[in-house]
Amino acid sequence: MDDFDGAHDRIARHAEIIKDTDTDHTGQRMFYFRDPDGCVIGINDQAALKASDLGKYA
């Protein structure tokens, strides 16, 4: 997701945030929400991915 913070704000207005913004061991920012069907979806910060060691593989 290119606009991570904007996406979080838009989604949070309409969906249940399961796990709010966090940073994992690779430096990736992410959050998880539940969609209307009950599925849990994770969103990652594209900018953090590009800047991380994992970015060279993406």
For 37-50, write each residue's pLDDT tens digit. Answer: 999 999 988 766 66
How many Cβ atoms from other residues are within 10 Å of residue 8's Cβ? 20
Q: What are phi and psi of 41, to 5 degrees?
A: -120, 135
**CB of 44 closer than 8 Å to CB of 31:** no
Q: What percent of the chain has pLDDT over 90?
A: 50
15/32 Cα distance (integer angstroms): 10
Given a cut of 80, whether residue 19 has pLDDT beyond it is: yes
